[in-house]
Amino acid sequence: MRTSTTESHTKEKLLDAAERLMLGKGFPATTVDEICAAAGLTKGSFFHYFESKDDLGRAVLDRFAGRGLEEFVSAPFRRQSDPLKRIVASIDFWIDRINDPSTECGCLLGNFAQELSDTHPEIRAQCARHFDRWIQMLTQDFNEAKSAYRPRARIDTQGLAEHYVAVLEGGLLLTKAKRDRKVFERNLTHLKHYIRAVFEGG
């Protein structure tokens, strides 16, 4: 008889295997057979938990985005009272993660948005929702910085939050293409300088 603990462990093995493979080779190129082999499980186990690869992909994406947001929210820099310093520290948080050789250099959320937006409307909408949650949090930080620093220039805080995410995701793409993690650090360092200039020199 399956116990709830066994059920949970088996499902997590499938999710772990799928995440590794989809980060490494993309969603379209990853097969159910490969996922089962990597998890050490049968197809019967796969279809016990997931109706299809798409169903698994949606679950993997929710888990990946949820964990990422939780790490971001609970990171020590979130306790920084100065909103601008908190934003800058958040960029250092990402730089440190990518410079850690044990960290996978990629973002499943960004990958799925690129690979599947034209072919999988449900997953595209799912990506948009996760990006929106992140952008909303950053927009709040930028609103607080705007109130605290009162820059002379007009600032679209939501647009600035979207720019932050775009630079980060674009930096990951360039890093993967060039096989050089320092590319990410250079791009994010420029983002820090830009954000400081907006609020301190505007």
What pLDDT digit, counting tens, does each position of 13-53 carry?
999 999 999 999 999 999 999 999 999 999 999 999 999 99
Q: Are 141 and 87 in contact (CB under 8 A)?
A: yes
Stated pTM of the model: 0.92
- CA 62, 103, 22, 56: dihedral to nearest 10 degrees? -30
CA-CA distance, 153 to 13, in Å (whole number)? 51
Please identify which residue in the block is written with the tokens 């938990």. Answer: 49
Q: How confident is the model at residue 3 (pLDDT cuts 50, 70, 90)?
A: low
Sheet strands (E) in 17-171: none
Single-letter residue type at 187 = N
> Among candidates 127, 159, 123, 129, which has minimal Cα distance to 142?
159
